Amino acid sequence: SIPINDTSPSPFCGGNDDSGAGLITAPEDNVPYRCIWHLKAKDNGTLKATVQVASFLSTETTPGTYNTCLANYISLYDGETVDAPLSGPYSNDPYLDYKTTGSALTLEIVQADVQCSFFALVLYESGTSHKKNARKELHESCIHMCEFYLYGSHG
């Protein structure tokens, strides 16, 4: 697992994106990781992000029930580094809308407990071009596991 005081990002994920829009997903690797993404808005505008995250462990005693795993999470920082004002961490949130005060957003995705199922999706866009149907687009990007967990459906 990732030591609590280890703040170094994983070498296989994260990065910089100044395109002003995109979709970021948590790696599907069954290893501990800490991904740091540095996102920038177009034309020094703001960024809007819609986040979907869940981390859970199926209970053996009652099939179909889940325990939340708080060691796996997303944090959003309103600025260029993880020293910027923090929103989070979030381990279970079917839809979270977030808007930066400036042109930068730092996104941290951590998986420390690999025994738990974990997924995270972040759809982000520059504030002037934010889609009104971001939640629908995010839902369509969601994997079957997230749909089952969040909505109780098998479809």
Q: Where are the chain's structural domains?
A: 22-151
pLDDT above 90 for 79: yes
Cα–Cα distance for residue pair 37/13, rounded to 1 Å: 8
Q: For 82, left (φ over 0), alpha (ψ -120 to 50), or beta?
A: alpha
pLDDT of 97 above 80: yes
Q: What is the pLDDT of residue 154?
A: 36
Whether the per-residue pLDDT at 14 is higher than 80: the answer is yes
Torsion angles phi and psi, residue 145, rounded to 5: -60, -45
Give the DSSP H/E element, type plus range, for residue 50. Answer: strand 47-58
Q: What is the mean pLDDT of the chain?
A: 79
pTM beyond 0.85: the answer is no
Per-residue confidence band for 48, with pLDDT thresholds at 50, 70 and 90: very high
DSSP 8-class letter at 79: S
Distances (CA, A) of 153 to 14, 52, 55, 64, 149: 31, 17, 17, 11, 8
Per-residue pLDDT of 102-152, as tens digits, reads 999 999 999 999 888 888 989 999 975 545 555 555 555 554 445 444 444
Using the predicted structure, report yes or no on whether residue 46 has a pLDDT greater than 60.
yes
Average pLDDT over residues 15-42: 91
Residue 88, both tokens: 């989070």
**What CATH architecture applies to the domain 22-151?**
Sandwich (2.60)
Is pLDDT of 35 > 90? yes
Q: Bridge partners of 117?
A: 56
Q: What is the pLDDT of residues 62-74, one digit of tens each?
A: 666 677 789 999 9
| Mean pLDDT for the stretch of residues 34-45 | 93
Does pLDDT of 13 surpass 70?
yes
